[in-house]
Amino acid sequence: MLVASVLAVTQPVVVPPEPDQAPAEPVEAAPPSRMYHAFLSPVTVSLPANGGRLNVLLGAALPQTADRALEKTLQDNPDAVLANLATAILDAIDTTGAGADPVQLYKVLPPSLQVAMNANLAAMGAPPDILEVLILDWALVP
């Protein structure tokens, strides 16, 4: 009888409901490992409307690979990769209206140069894998 009275008085164990689980956020893939290549010779272009001369020293971000084939291509044939970049600079100035405004030029040049470099690589039969073009140094001479 004592057992029955203890059972009657004891409260049942209440299990709290599980909290709502937050929806899982999509996991972003890690960006590919990069290596960087600096070109030794600058690209020089005369700006339109007597805007002066622009000298740009470029670098490129490449995917890290075991065979480093793209880096070897850039080292062995820098002139072929940089071949028409002066034209790409002038086209970027024309399409954006950047003129000789250095801040605007600095913003519009890397994407345009990336497209041109990848096109040059494809024409050479190399993979067009330049991930980003970096402006390492530049001089705008009036």
* pLDDT, position 21: 66
Phi, psi of 21 (to 5 degrees): -80, 135
pTM score, whole prediction = 0.74
* pLDDT, position 85: 94
What's the rounded Cα separation, in Å, for the pair 44 and 140? Answer: 10
* pLDDT, position 29: 72
Contact between 130 and 117 under an 8 Å Cβ cutoff? The reply is: yes
Say how many Å lie between the first and final Cα of the chain, rounded.
Answer: 105
* pLDDT, position 39: 94
Nearest CA to 59 out of 140, 137, 134, 131 is that of 134
The whole-number mean pLDDT for each consecutive block of 10 residues of the chain, a chain of 142 residues, reads 57 70 68 89 86 90 89 92 91 77 83 94 92 92 82
Say which residues have a Cβ less than 8 Å from residue 37's Cβ, sequence separation at least 6: 59, 60, 62, 71, 74, 75
What CATH number belongs to 34-141?
3.30.479
* pLDDT, position 97: 75
